[in-house]
Amino acid sequence: MANREIISTGNDLAAIAAVDAGCMFFGGYPITPSSEVMHTISDLLPAVGGAAIQMEDEIAGVACAIGASMSGVRSMTATSGPGISLKAENLGLAQMTETPLVVVNVMRGGPSTGLPTRVSQGDVAQAKNPSHGDYKSITLCAGNLAECYTETVRAFNLADRFMQPVFVLLDETIGHMHGKAMIPTEEEVKAGIKLRKTFDGAPEDYRPYGVEQDEPAVLNPMFTGYRYHFTGLHHDSKGFPTEEIETCRKLIERLFNKIEAHQDEIDSYEEFMLDDAEFLIIAYGSVSLAAKEAIRHLRADGIKAGLFRPITLWPSPATRIKHWTDKINKVLCVELNIGQYRDEIQRASGRLDIDGLFKVNGRAISPYEIVNKVKETM
């Protein structure tokens, strides 16, 4: 596999990845610590015939990005936690209308204004259910600089495959980290692009939402001769509002089924030094870098620790989590929040004894904090 070497930041790599993956529209509003994503993509998109627009606020930013996607182009927005809160209603619209969109969230401290310039992983629970109602979110989480690129590329393919918003979580540390990354070539990325399905039959036969119960809608781009309706209301096979009992039930069940039936296409995780591990550390995002360093120190001290790192956070790789929590007795979850993902680990494992190392003061977790916590629990 051919690779290219690039020295950049996580935020810039997400923007570069979007353009390489065929994104042609960005709508957003600057917010710390995600602003560099917008700054960079606003330089890159015009050069390939695309457009980036700074709107008057986060609500307008996601609204225009959804509109661009409805027209058939790959579209993205980027923000941080407070921006996701503002975008929530429109993200629910995109889930209901099944409009693909990539949302990069560079996490910072919260709630509310919180710690704008400091690191956090406080938006993990929010990413599972950013808007009200029943649906299945897809959330990816980059754990190094290269993944800021590769997970953004993957997000576009998943958004078009499952016809819904896909979140890419960075955090302030990894978003602003500057270093070397080995990433796929632009040619390789373009060769792997998987665009959304379209219908090419007679216009009178077109039923964008009349699909199998485990498949996403088939939405042809606007202005191509196929008529259908966009609405946030429960809708029939052509998108028109309805309250018919069975139609409403099948619609919401399908929003779940299209993800659950194909989770093998979405799951992604890393297993680090787990073959002989006697102590399991679970971490994700930038915290996983500290966890790997801690594991090297622990093994030097004779403690066989290993790391399970979910890359796809939602839907969680629950089967694999249970595999390792069944096999290894001592488990430590390390997060820059107060256990938002530990709740999922407990659910997946059926265990309530999962230990935690949490920090919410805007500072990173050091490898030595992890080492000390592991030794305390041995």
Nearest-angstrom CA–CA distance, 198 and 25: 20
3-state SS assignment for residue 8: strand
pTM for this model (two decimals)? 0.97
The percent of residues above 90 in pLDDT, for the chain, comes to 98
Per-residue pLDDT tens for 100-113?
A: 999 999 999 999 99
Per-residue pLDDT tens for 233-254?
A: 999 999 999 999 999 999 999 9
CB 344 within 8 A of CB 139: no
Q: Residues with Cβ < 8 Å from 204, sequence gap 6 or more?
A: none
3-state SS assignment for residue 340: coil
CB 273 within 8 A of CB 303: no
pLDDT at 378 over 90: no
Nearest-angstrom CA–CA distance, 39 and 9: 13
Alpha carbon 160 to its chain's center: 14
- Provide the mean pLDDT of the chain: 97
Which amino acid is it at 239? G
Query: Residue 59: is it exposed, middle or buried by C-beta count within 10 angstroms (0-12/13-18/19+)?
Result: middle
CB atoms closer than 10 angstroms to residue 94: 26
Mean pLDDT of 345-351: 98
3-state SS assignment for residue 201: coil
Nearest-angstrom CA–CA distance, 55 and 223: 24
Residue 25 has a pLDDT of 98
Q: Which CATH class is domain 270-377?
A: alpha beta
Per-residue pLDDT tens for 126-181?
A: 999 999 999 999 999 999 999 999 999 999 999 999 999 999 999 999 999 999 99
Mean pLDDT of 27-49: 98
Residue 1 has a pLDDT of 52
Residue 300 has a pLDDT of 98
Report the CATH architecture of 3-191: 3-Layer(aba) Sandwich (3.40)
Nearest-angstrom CA–CA distance, 9 and 275: 32
User: Does the fold of domain 270-377 match that of domain 3-191?
Assistant: yes
Enumerate the domain spans of the chain. 3-191, 270-377
pLDDT at 299 over 80: yes
Per-residue pLDDT tens for 250-295?
A: 999 999 999 999 999 999 999 999 999 999 999 999 999 999 999 9
Q: Residues with Cβ < 8 Å from 323, sequence gap 6 or more?
A: none
Nearest-angstrom CA–CA distance, 280 and 307: 6
Residue 306 has a pLDDT of 98
Query: Residue 327: is it exposed, middle or buried by C-beta count within 10 angstroms (0-12/13-18/19+)?
Result: exposed
Element (H, E) at 77: strand 74-79
Q: Interhelix angle for 10-20 vs 35-44, to 10°? A: 40
pLDDT at 2 over 80: no
